[in-house]
């Protein structure tokens, strides 16, 4: 059922990486993040399917579909981190190990960003490493997948 493939999901506003608040998120783009993730996945023996959406339902549909052909999920949920029980339920519901990634150090930012609905169910959490955090998350997640 699950293959040697990982699903990379980037949530709302991550399409603006490289131009949105570069002092917080850096100058790397979403394309840079996806390239880093693809390279890390390949090094760990996985293919990578990547999707960015500003719509919660699109992300949830992708998570549901992942149970058919993916061994794990890497997700940067963006602002949905702090608001979406539905995203959490989808990730728990498909029973795939997943990594939660945040480009910025959420704990050095506004207090509302300190809470994550995913923190206690994520197999891996990588916070504040910039887009290189995607590679860290993939390496750690891949080590958990038989």
pLDDT tens, position by position, 79-128: 999 999 999 999 999 999 999 999 989 888 888 889 999 999 999 999 99
Question: Has 82 been labeled as part of a binding site?
Answer: yes
Eight-class DSSP state of 4: S
69 assigned to a ligand binding site: no
Strands (E) across the chain are located at: 5-10, 47-52, 72-76, 98-102, 124-127
Say which residues have a Cβ less than 8 Å from residue 132's Cβ, sequence separation at least 6. Answer: 36
Does the annotation place 103 within a ligand binding site?
yes
The catalytic residues are: 25, 102
Number of structural domains the chain divides into: 1
Q: Any idea what the CATH number is for the domain that residue 24 is in?
A: 3.40.50.9100
- Sign of CA pseudo-dihedral 97, 102, 105, 106: negative
- Residue 64 counted as an annotated binding residue: no
Structural domain span for residue 89: 5-144
**Is this prediction's pTM over 0.85?**
yes
Phi, psi of 94 (to 5 degrees): -90, -10
């Amino acid at each position: 059922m699950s293959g040697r493939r990982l699903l990379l999901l980037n949530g709302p506003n991550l399409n603006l990486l490289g131009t949105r608040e570069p002092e917080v998120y850096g100058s790397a783009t979403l394309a840079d993040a996806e390239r880093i993730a693809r390279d890390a996945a390949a090094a760990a023996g996985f293919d990578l399917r990547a999707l960015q959406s500003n719509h919660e339902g699109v992300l949830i549909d992708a998570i549901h579909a992942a149970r058919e052909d993916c061994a794990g999920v890497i997700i940067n949920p963006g602002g949905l981190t702090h608001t979406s029980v539905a995203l959490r339920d989808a990730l728990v519901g498909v029973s795939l190990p997943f990594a939660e990634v945040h480009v910025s150090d959420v704990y050095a930012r506004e207090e509302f960003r300190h809470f994550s609905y995913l923190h206690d169910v994520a197999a891996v959490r990588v916070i504040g490493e910039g887009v290189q955090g995607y590679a860290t998350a993939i390496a750690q997640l891949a080590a958990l997948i038989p």
